[in-house]
Structure 1
């Protein structure tokens, strides 16, 4: 394993989900910080569900960013993260940062599996991503139909820009043991309902966009129609029923604590995405 003193620019960092919403930004931020990024994805031979693929990407690295592909609270997440973390420690990769979710009780077994792995661990619990409105299934509804159907009710959420998550992750990796054994909760700068978020997108794009709240069970039926496997539906519905009950309607100061600055505002994200034409039909 590479030995580093002083600044941590020479670290080799494994980034799981390197082509995904957070992983791509973590990889970008790590490179900008002078770290060597080792992307871990199926296209590069890494598979969370195939343990024989783990050692080749972990061996010789200094740190790893862990994001479980379906959800950190999925039924199989704790076992997979725990096994990978123990293998990483056995190969000399001691510094591990796990992406988790604020308020998600289903994620706690996965966090505990990391804690007991022997790793120098940090958990980053994030609020709902701002980029969920611009990447993934939700953006298609806004772009093509002008309506977002979602079980968010009138709950307020401090939507966080995933670039802030990435900056916190890279700072935690590069800070030696400063954030070892800590849970960092990160959120955006202000609280918005899903309807208010859609209204800001509408104002930035000049389009008539609307938000329609539905019960979680009804949303599950829509997901079934979109092809979500039945074995995943119950978990997803239970997750939305719990996470969107108001428990996360508060700000967290993790971005300021780690980075010494305020989180990016949701309006900044909206303006940039609108300029890029994300929501054009």
Structure 2
């Protein structure tokens, strides 16, 4: 499996960029899927799917912005069928913990007849350093709903390591890896950890789901806010308040700790103010 091309859908995203970089570092051929690629790919244009799968043996699949978006599960199911017809060797799908639509996406891949690996992930640590929470952190705030709910937040570098193992090693076929960080943290504890790494105060601000919706709507619009607020309501209710050993199952090592993520991100300038 390791000598053949891997398709990476979402190659510019948090996990996909890392998966592609790790494959590059091993000298393995990678096809980065995007609308602007030489062989373009577009979830909304099924006619682009078969060409991008031509000559590919394995694929890492993420659906942006989330499997909860209307039509996402149906598109993943149809893409899996196209991939099976194209002779894809293995599909590695990233999904989310505690999300109803993510489970439906997993089942679609299971039912496709493809060899697969499923990675069911906890909340991303890099949401603080590369995502929509970076600007609030820069201002010294962490506004989040969910009260004192605890989350086993995961470093996306662990997700990428699991994905690359699944793409390049035969023993991961048919496996589901539910991946989390090594411990449970409240958002207030995450704010304290970020403050220690940055050397300045970061205050957790408990907000309502309505305020969460309003904040997202300001930049992403009402539709995007509706979907992400629904995901937050679904997943920040305590259902994910447990750690799992998915990283250890896949890699034989423990996952990275959030404090290590925060310190390394701070040292790398993730929260450096623009000049």
Q: What's the counterpart of residue 94 of structure 1?
A: 89
Pairing partner for 1:134 from 120, 129, 132: 129
Q: What's the counterpart of residue 175 of structure 1?
A: 169
**Aligned ranges 1:242-281 → 2 under 5 Å:** 242-281=234-273
Q: CA deviation at 1:43?
A: 2.5
Residue 115 (structure 2) pairs with residue 120 (structure 1): yes
**Which secondary structure state, in structure 1, belongs to the residue aligned with residue 240 of structure 2?**
coil
Q: Which runs of 5+ in 1 are unaligned?
A: 1-7
CA distance in 2, matches of 1:196, 1:186: 20
Q: CA deviation at 1:230?
A: 2.5
Q: CA deviation at 1:15?
A: 0.2
Report if the CA contact (8 A) 2:4-2:57 is conserved: yes
**TM-score normalised to structure 2 length:** 0.94
**Which secondary structure state, in structure 1, belongs to the residue aligned with residue 183 of structure 2?**
coil
Report if the CA contact (8 A) 2:183-2:243 is conserved: yes
Residue 67 (structure 2) pairs with residue 72 (structure 1): yes
Q: What's the counterpart of residue 188 of structure 2?
A: 195
- Aligned residue-pair number: 271
- 1:132-152, Cα deviation, whole Å (9 max, x unpaired): 110021001111x21121213
Q: CA deviation at 1:24?
A: 0.4
| Off by >4 Å, runs of 4+ in structure 1 | none
Q: CA deviation at 1:105?
A: 1.7
CA distance in 1, matches of 2:250, 2:223: 38
Q: What's the counterpart of residue 3 of structure 1?
A: none
Q: CA deviation at 1:174?
A: 1.6
Q: What's the counterpart of residue 144 of structure 2?
A: 150
CA distance in 1, matches of 2:140, 2:107: 41
Report if the CA contact (8 A) 1:9-1:34 is conserved: no
Residue 223 (structure 2) pairs with residue 224 (structure 1): no
Report if the CA contact (8 A) 2:73-2:101 is conserved: no
Q: CA deviation at 1:127?
A: 0.6
Q: CA deviation at 1:208?
A: 1.6
Q: What's the counterpart of residue 158 of structure 2?
A: 164
Q: CA deviation at 1:194?
A: 1.2
- 1:155-183, Cα deviation, whole Å (9 max, x unpaired): 1111111111011111112222x222221
Pairing partner for 1:106 from 88, 101, 104: 101
Q: Which runs of 5+ in 2 are unaligned?
A: none
**Which secondary structure state, in structure 2, belongs to the residue aligned with residue 42 of structure 1?**
coil
- 1:246-274, Cα deviation, whole Å (9 max, x unpaired): 11111110110110111111111111111
Report if the CA contact (8 A) 1:41-1:47 is conserved: yes
